[in-house]
Amino acid sequence: MESLILVVEVVILVSLSAIFSGLNISLMSLDINDLRRKKKLGNKDAARVLPLREKTHLSLASILFGNIAMVSTLSLILEPHFQGVLAGFISTMLIVIFGEVLPQAIFARFALRFCAFFSPFLRVVIAITYVFSKPIQILLDALISDDERRLHSRDELGMIVGEHHKGDSELDEDEVEIIQAALQMSEKQVGSIMQPIKEVYWLKNTATLDAKTVDEIKEKGYSRVPVFDSALTECYGVLLMKDMVDIDFDESPVAVTDFPLHKTILVGSRTALDTMLRKFFGLKTHMVAIEKDDKVVGVLTVEDLIEEIIGHEIADETDHVHER
């Protein structure tokens, strides 16, 4: 009977030591900011654990007090039944294997789940050890400041999002590609995605539109035609095909400047894509001219920018006729 009682006592003490050890490694491994985000998203486990994690030093002191108390009590219980050295060896092996290694390995794997499950138990331990733990918390709070909030860099965010390509994820492949492309917008410049001026159909400000020119524009499938001076140093605006619908060019050609040219702007070729996107929000045009060294070197459309963000070309009804 005495041996049975001893076994029960040892099992209880080792189990409690295992819980304290597991709580120590798992609670400290949880990121406070991550818990706050999860709480805002409605995660009940995070809501239970966050108050304990925010009072890091109080929780840590209480856990260590509890763990040391279990280890010390185990040695005292084994001492009368075994020789001193043997009692120390048995208690050490029990604590190391079943009270430290195994629980830490298991708790670390499911840190939030175990911390939430044992949160009521930890609150009881904090209440019991409060007289001893609180002074330690005050001392540690004074000596060790809280960790500064660390934000991920753009490259780190890209790698984190890229990990969703593997395994089960709520994000599909297209969403991952769009997010990764969006993260790189500030590092890319409009000069790298513009349509070079040699590939752009444009008109001089002195040009005259006749039936042949209009047919050529229709054949190429353009809905917008930029108008520049002959030296490509000034942009007069954008000519829209819809403004020419009711005009009979067979009877009388019309000068380009007689049409209502829609204003656009000149943008430097080194402008970042995210800056350009914000500019498009305020512009009443879908096309801008790109300049370099005071000369127009290309054009950029909203479609070009969106294609760069989503990583795929957007084909319209005229793309079978020409390549943009």
129-143: pLDDT as tens digits: 999 999 999 998 888
Do 195 and 86 sit in the same domain of this protein? Answer: no
Q: Looking at the structure, do residues 116 and 205 belong to the same domain, yes or no?
A: no
Q: Measured between alpha carbons, how far is 22 from 102 in angstroms, rounded to an integer?
A: 9
**Residues 132, 6 share a domain:** yes
Are 30 and 47 in contact by the 8 Å Cβ rule? The answer is: no
Distance CA 99, CA 65 (A): 15
Whether 52 is in a domain gets the answer yes
Same-domain pairing of 199 and 122: no
DSSP string for residues in 24-67: HHHHHHS-HHHHHHHHHTT-HHHHHHHHHHHTHHHHHHHHHHHH
Give yes or no: residues 241 and 300 share one domain.
Answer: yes
pLDDT score for 122: 95
State the pLDDT at residue 220. Answer: 79
In a domain, 25, yes or no: yes
In a domain, 321, yes or no: no
Domain end (from 121, 143, 165): 143
Residues pairing with 295 in the sheet: 292
- Mean pLDDT, residues 312-324: 56
Is residue 220 domain-shared with residue 107, that is, in the same domain?
no
Are residues 114 and 224 both part of a single domain?
Answer: no
Q: What percent of the chain has pLDDT over 70?
A: 92
pLDDT computed for residue 324 by the predictor: 39
| pLDDT for 322 | 45
In a domain? residue 165: no
My answer on whether 190 and 133 are in the same domain is: no
Could you give the number of structural domains in the chain? 2
What is the average pLDDT across 196-209? 90
Owning domain of residue 263: 185-310
pLDDT for residue 130: 94
> So what's the pLDDT on residue 146?
63
Query: Of 117, 143, 169, which residue is a domain's last?
Result: 143
Indicate the pTM of the whole model.
Answer: 0.61
pLDDT in tens, 260-308: 888 899 999 999 998 998 888 888 788 999 999 999 999 999 989 988 8
Q: Within this chain, do residues 81 and 11 fall inside the same structural domain, yes or no?
A: yes
So what's the pLDDT on residue 299?
94
Look at 86 and 23; give whichever has higher pLDDT: 23
d(CA 73, CA 79): 10
Residue whose pair of structure tokens reads 């089960």 in the numeric block: 168
Q: Do residues 112 and 192 both lie within one domain?
A: no
219 plus 86 within the same structural domain: no
Structural domain includes residue 179: no
Q: Which amino acid is at 295?
A: K
15 falls within a domain = yes
More confident residue, 221 or 146: 221
Query: Is the model more confident about 159 or about 71?
Result: 71
Residues 200 and 138 in one domain: no
Most confident of 58-67, 77-86, 99-108, 313-322: 58-67
24 belongs to a structural domain? yes
59-68, 73-82, 144-153, 245-254, range with the lowest pLDDT: 144-153
Instruction: Using the 3D structure, point to which of 118, 143, 168 is the last residue of a domain.
Output: 143
Average pLDDT over residues 47-55: 93
| Average pLDDT of the chain, as a whole number | 85
Confidence band, pLDDT 50/70/90 cuts, at residue 95: confident
Residue 316 is assigned to a structural domain of this protein = no
Least confident span in 41-45, 79-83, 153-157: 79-83
CATH number of the domain at 223, please. Answer: 3.10.580.10
79 pLDDT more than 80: no
